[in-house]
Amino acid sequence: MGGIISTFFSVDTIRPILFYVGGQAKYIWGLKGNLDDLQTEMENLIAKKLDLLNKVRLAEQTQPRGQRTSTVKLWFERVDRSVTLVEGLQEERDQEIDRLCLGGFCSKDLISSYDFGKKVEKLKEEVIKLREKGEAMKEVYEGVPEGAAVAIAVDRTIVGQESILDQVWRCITDQKKNNGIIGLYGMGGIGKTTLLKQVNNKFCSEEHDFDVVIWSVVSREPNLKQIQEDIGKRIGFSTDSWQRKSFEERASDITNTLKHKKFVLLLDDIWESEIDLTKLGVPLQTLDSGSRIVFTTRFEGTCGKMGAHKNRYKVFCLGDDDARKLFEGVVGRYVLNKHPDIPKLAEDVARQCHGLPLALKTVGNAMASKVYPEEWKEAIEILSASASKFEDMEKKVLSSLKFSYDSFPKDELRSCLLYCCLFPEDSEILKTELMEYWKSEGFVDSSSGWGVLGALVRACLLEEAGDRVKMHDMIRDMALWIANEVEEEEENFLVRAGVGLTDAPKIEEWEGVKRISLMQNKIQSLPQIPSCPRLQTLLLASNRIKEITESFFQSLPSLRVLSLRRNRSLTELPVGISSLVSLHHLDMSSTKVRGLPQELKALVNLRYLNLEYTRGMSRIPQQLISSFSKLQVLRMLRCGRRYQPIVEEGNVLSADAESLMKEIHCLEQLNLISLSLHGSRGVENFLKFPKLQNITQALSIEDCNSLPLNLLHLANMEHLEELYIEDSNLEDWNVDCAGEVQKMRKLHSVLIRNCSNVKDLTWLVFVPNLKWLRIVGCDDMEEIISVENFEKLSEVSEMMGELNLFSELELLVIRNASNLERIYRDPLPFPQLNRISILKCPKLKKLPLNSSSAKGRKIALAGQKEWWEELQWEDQATQNALSPCFRPIEE
């Protein structure tokens, strides 16, 4: 019996009873009420959480650059955990209630009920405490320190301009160099702003040690107050009280803050007027400590004004492949895959945008819904005919480009730019030729032309190409749109240049037009008679015109410029050309015109006359040239090349050129000539007129048995740029006056053809800017630069001290020089050399080249294969470097 009692009251049984008896009974008899209270407290806690969550969300909407406090984030986490625990206990509620007995005062499983009841009580207390803590919580949201930069949305990643982005980034972050001010320049719509945004965003993703990056848009009419506010906002000055401060007070605050920081200031779209950063409060002295200023502009000149003297980067249009990638990215694969013909058509459409990102995006967006090939073909036709007619091109692209045009302070700049669209697409326009047109039109004078050209290049509206300029096709489209469709302009151009016309446009199209360009077509005749009282410019160059109707010019009273050049079938001018009494500029070069009519005397306003390469010219009436009293430019190089003795009275063309020289000498306003001289007497007569020597730009000498010209004569021709000596005996070529010779700095082109008794051309050491040297048919020549003669020249000339021989040479052609043994004794650097062509020079066994010649450039080498294989090399490295450049040519 005692054993039974002992077993019943074991230790495990006694412990809960003792606890129960000791006051813990509440966990069992109060279980139901505690579960109800827990549910109520949990509902109160959830309600409090919702209150605080709404408060946080409101703060997040109104203060995006902030975050939830750590306290509230932890509180939310604890509430969520409590909810989970309560839900778990409530799921066991029914099971635990069923275990109770004796009216809820006892349990069928005391231990289990006790543990469960204790969990309920403890969790209820935690829920109450959480709610109380939530009720006491005042701060739920706080501002956060901003990163160095604020990311800016960019519609797409850059394509084809990754290299320039990397260059600019390295320039900004290279602390070893003083790269304080950095400029990005290029034409409108080329992607400068996108690049600058990418630079800004790299500060959000790349490692750097800058304290703050500031972005501000300047635009055409800069708002200095707004720029100042953009700077102030990024460095903590955004209160109303700061906004109410004066401009100078805010500048002082900015200075005092930024001078203690390492900052980057990004300024987008600065125009020609530079921004006075010091006035804004930007402490420029901090640039020496690593701070940076980066800006974009359409004008290269602004880079200099802003101080980006070394670190300026031109943003170029995209190449074909990159343009296609960008365009296809905008259009999307869905459309491109809709029809097998569309991808190829898309390439053609992209090509019509000429690599301009803004145009590619605009046209791409317009084509992003076009799923039929016919729609793409129509787009190509519209873009080819007139870009302004394409959807959104006028509003989004041409208008954007026009901002640069509108920014010019003078009408002459606008007129000169529009004039360039008269030339065909992709034309490279000779700078001097373009300025002659501008002068003849009255846009510029002799002193202002280069300044205008420079301004257009610096504005990125013209592109430099050596001695020529080129107009980007999209800029040309803009110019044509302005000339023909912008209401406030009074231009009206008819331009059909380089489009393959066989007939001139119908005469009705000429009416009311101010400028017409039909150059580079296949037009053979001008049968109709136009009536164009406003027409000032008529460009008919490079056609196949054979004849011009006698009365063609009778109703063109305002015509100033007439170009007939390179109409190689044109043999005579109609007498009716005398009606052009307003004509300033007449160009008939490279035609077959045989004579000038006496009626040309009526052209009393003529300023420019070009007769170059009219080799068939046999008659120019006496007193005709001298009647052009306002003539400023006369070009007669290779005019009437085969002069005959005077066979009829009244012709100024003769072998001795004496009467021609006298007439030219009478022209008081003449400031530039090009001439061909024949025979010794012709040269002698030319030398009688020092005034003519002073204004000679190009000179050709032919058929001289004894050349009465020496180096001193050449050096005195300070404007001489081109010299051609042909079929002459140079035995008496006088170099004895070398001690008095000044360098011929403008001379850049020399041709020596079929000349006898010339052993060398050592005198070329006096031509420091020589670009093109051609030597043909000089069998007596042994070397180009003789070391022996060079040393003699050095003894008598102080000018020989600085020898940079052939430092500007771009082209060297030597042909049929059977005794030529060398060009120069030692290798030369040739920093500008592009091409060497050698033919039939069997004794020339070595070129003055080594592995360092033309370093960084590739020289095109041409010659006979047998000659090339026998060449001797400075060393193996030279042969290895130049062998890939060789191309064989046939005899």
DSSP string for residues in 487-543: TT----EEE-TTS--SSPPPGGGGTT-SEEE--SS---EE-S----TT--EEE--SS
- 301-315, 482-496, 576-590, 841-855, range with the lowest pLDDT: 482-496
What does the pLDDT average to over 302-320?
90
Query: Of residues 278 and 145, which shows the higher confidence score?
Result: 278
What does the pLDDT average to over 87-94?
70
- 449-453, 456-460, 746-750, range with the lowest pLDDT: 456-460
What does the pLDDT average to over 439-450?
90
Q: What's the token pair of residue 575?
A: 């007498």
Q: What length does the chain have?
A: 891
Instruction: Sort residue 288 into left (φ over 0), alpha (ψ -120 to 50) or beta.
Output: alpha
What does the pLDDT average to over 185-207?
90
Percentage of residues in the chain with pLDDT exceeding 90? 46
User: At residue 61, what are phi and psi to the nearest 5 degrees?
Assistant: -75, -35
CA separation, residue 192 to residues 1, 151, 186, 268, 310 (Å):
103, 17, 7, 8, 18
- 87-101, 268-282, 350-364, 568-582, range with the lowest pLDDT: 87-101
Long-range own/partner contacts, residues 20-28 (CB < 8 A, 24 or more apart):
20/110, 20/114, 24/114, 24/118, 25/105, 26/117, 26/121, 27/113, 27/114, 27/116, 27/117, 27/118, 27/120, 27/121, 28/100, 28/104, 28/105, 28/106, 28/107, 28/110, 28/113, 28/114, 28/117
Q: What is the pLDDT of residue 458?
A: 85
Kindly report the average pLDDT of the chain as a whole number. 85
Output b/e per residue, 225-259; b: 16+ Cβ within 10 A.
eebbbbbbebbebeeeeeeeeeeeebbebbbebbe
Query: Of residues 49 and 800, which shows the higher confidence score?
Result: 49
Q: Label residue 734 by pLDDT band (50, 70, 90).
A: low
β partners of residue 548: 526
741-752 residue pLDDT tens: 778 889 999 999
Whole-angstrom distance, CA of residue 491 vs CA of residue 418: 9
Give ranges for CATH 1.10.10.10 in the chain: 395-488
Give ranges for CATH 3.40.50.300 in the chain: 162-314
What does the pLDDT average to over 429-456?
92
Q: What is the pLDDT of residue 790?
A: 77
β partners of residue 297: 185, 270
866-884 residue pLDDT tens: 999 999 998 898 888 888 8
Q: What is the pLDDT of residue 739?
A: 59
Q: 162-314: which CATH topology?
A: Rossmann fold (3.40.50)
What does the pLDDT average to over 699-711?
89
Burial class (CB in 10 A: 0-12, 13-18, 19+), 452: buried
Q: What is the pLDDT of residue 487?
A: 54
Percentage of residues in the chain with pLDDT exceeding 70? 87
Q: What's the token pair of residue 168?
A: 């600019």
- 51-55, 220-224, 487-491, 770-774, range with the lowest pLDDT: 487-491
Whole-angstrom distance, CA of residue 107 vs CA of residue 209: 70
Q: For residues 261 and 211, is the Cβ–Cβ distance under 8 A? A: yes
Dihedral angle over CA of 838, 840, 843, 844, nearest 10: 0
Q: Label residue 142 by pLDDT band (50, 70, 90).
A: low
CA separation, residue 642 to residues 589, 615, 623, 778, 822 (Å):
16, 7, 22, 21, 34
What does the pLDDT average to over 392-407?
83
Query: Of residues 891 and 349, which shows the higher confidence score?
Result: 349
Q: What is the pLDDT of residue 22?
A: 44
Inform me whether the pLDDT recorded for 225 exceeds 70: yes
Residue type, 152: I
Q: What is the pLDDT of residue 18?
A: 39
Query: Of residues 236 and 840, which shows the higher confidence score?
Result: 840
Give ranges for CATH 1.10.8 in the chain: 320-385
Dihedral angle over CA of 416, 418, 419, 421, nearest 10: 140
Query: Of residues 568 and 646, which shows the higher confidence score?
Result: 568
Inform me whether the pLDDT recorded for 27 exceeds 70: no
Q: Label residue 583 by pLDDT band (50, 70, 90).
A: very high
DSSP string for residues in 272-339: SSPP-HHHHT--GGGGGGT-EEEEEES-HHHHHHTT-SS-EEEPPPPPHHHHHHHHHHHH-HHHHTS-
Inform me whether the pLDDT recorded for 92 exceeds 80: no
* Lookup result for tokens 């990163």: 147
Helix (H, G, I), strand (E, B) or coil at 11: helix
Query: Of residues 581 and 800, which shows the higher confidence score?
Result: 581
Inform me whether the pLDDT recorded for 645 exceeds 70: no
Host H or E run for residue 813:
strand 811-815
Whole-angstrom distance, CA of residue 218 vs CA of residue 226: 9
What does the pLDDT average to over 104-116?
60
Q: For residues 104 and 33, is the Cβ–Cβ distance under 8 A? A: no
User: Domain 320-385 maps to which CATH number in 1.20.272, 1.10.8, 1.10.3470, 3.30.70?
Assistant: 1.10.8
Q: 395-488: which CATH topology?
A: Arc Repressor Mutant, subunit A (1.10.10)
